Amino acid sequence: MLERYFIRPTTVDRIRACWIGDAIERYVTWLAEQGYAPRNVAFRVPVLVRFGEFAKTSGAINCNELSGYIEPFVEHWLKERRHGNDCESARRIVARGVRNPIQQMLHLIIPDYQNKGRSHDLVDPFIGSAPGFFEFLRRDRGLREPTIVQYQHYLRRTECYFRKSGIESLGDVSLAAITALITESGKSLDKRSVQSLCSILKVFFRYLHRAGLMAHDLSKQIESPRRYRLADLPRSISWDEVRRMLQAADRRTPVGKRDYTILLLLVTYGLRAREVAALTLDDIDWKRDRLHVRGRKADHSAIYPLAPIVGEAVLDYLQHGRPKIPERALFCRAFAPHTALSRVAVSLRAKHYIRKAGIEVARPGSHTLRHTCVQRLLEARLSLKTIGDFMGHRSPDATAIYAKVNIEALREVALGEGEEIL
């Protein structure tokens, strides 16, 4: 099997001469069976050879001991290729690319191997300088894991910014550095996200002061930006722009067929990215022409009529684009491993085609198409209650923001011909 991917006989001989050569060749066979692209195999095998050499030099004598050498090897790899000064997110991406093939191989060759790489992949930010912070959040504040993840996200961003700014320890952090962080974040985050960042920074620096890790309590001087309810306009696009976006998907390819179907679902039904990602083959009722959407907010579900254009796109994707795999998720990766698409991937696909079509809109993504669906329903003069039920809104307030962008109604008011609207 190695000869299929490596042309030079000397390369094949070197791989087989490695003390874990049999395991590597077995892993390559598995990759071929799973449909991995040759370029993926060509990257993974040299990593495994280097890992085997590193583990043997470090004292490993059999495969059952290899799991203990994964993290030291990852750190060695990062240092050897001078990733030490990269931001935390960049280091995590490189580390994940090195760690994943090793863990996959160990799953294949070691019975009952337990993958513990996930905890290493998501090391808590500031773990060295504030080791008790996340335990404080869980034990003393009683925060749930989804909230903890949000803290981790924003504090990783903070840690990365401090590192790039040359701040070596938390004792060197000043109010000016925090202000610069918030200002810089405001260039890429919306106001709500900046508010979340500020709230988390307040909790973090208050903890540092109370735990005796900082002499001054900087939390009292952090100010969040004001954000007024209904102050922002929804980020919808016009129906002509929707057509341009749909035309940007190359439906001659499996990826284009899949993405075209995803875009149609987002803009036709106003689904959230996670609702599209959660769709399964069983959610399409072909006999009754219905689409069953499960797992909405507050554990609600909804049933929609299957629009002909959506049904045709789904059928085309299933027959000519979707990999022939036992996975029940409707949308899967086009390349191995053929796992279900995540909600993040769905949103990024929408963002990709909006930009590819040259459409200018703030923060493009799946929610852009959700807003567009609502705008379309408003233009059809449906009531906010009807629209809210269709979109799965939990309260009328969630729908009220769209009343501001009913352009035709506002035009009638401006011309003095729509007093009945008021």
CA dihedral 277, 280, 286, 290 (to 10 degrees): -50
How far apart are the C-alpha atoms of 47 and 220, rounded to whole Å? 49
Tokens matching residue 250: 């190359």
Does 404 participate in catalysis according to the annotation?
no
Contact call for residues 180 and 220 (beta carbons, < 8 A)? no
Annotated active-site residue in 99, 251, 333, 393? 393
| Active-site position among 157, 272, 333, 376 | 272
Give 291's strand partners: 284, 304
- Residue 367 falls in the annotated catalytic set: yes
Q: Is 333 annotated as catalytic?
A: no
Burial class (CB in 10 A: 0-12, 13-18, 19+), 87: middle
Distance (Å) of CA 374 to CA 54, 133, 259, 393: 57, 42, 21, 11
Look-up of token digits 């490993």? 60
Handedness of CA 68, 26, 109, 32 (dihedral sign): positive
Sign of CA dihedral 60, 65, 66, 67: negative
**Encoded tokens for 31:** 């990759």
Closest CA to 252 of 187, 341, 317: 317
393 is catalytic: yes
From the list 216, 297, 356, 404, the catalytic residue is 297
* Burial class of residue 142 in the structure, from the number of CB atoms within 10 Å of its CB (0-12 exposed, 13-18 middle, 19+ buried): exposed
Measuring CA to CA, how many Å separate 205 from each of 174, 218, 285?
11, 6, 53
Q: Which of 202, 258, 367, 376 is catalytic?
A: 367
| Residues 24 and 48 sit within 8 Å (Cβ to Cβ) | yes
**What contacts 412, CB < 8 A, 6 or more positions away?**
418, 421
**Residue carrying the six token digits 């072909």:** 286
* Backbone torsions φ then ψ of 320, nearest 5 degrees: -130, 0
- Distance, C-alpha 400 to centroid of its chain: 28
Q: Which of 157, 257, 370, 376 is catalytic?
A: 370
The verdict on whether omega for the bond into residue 337 sits within 30 degrees of 0, i.e. cis, is: yes
27 is catalytic: no
Catalytic residues: 272, 297, 367, 370, 393, 402
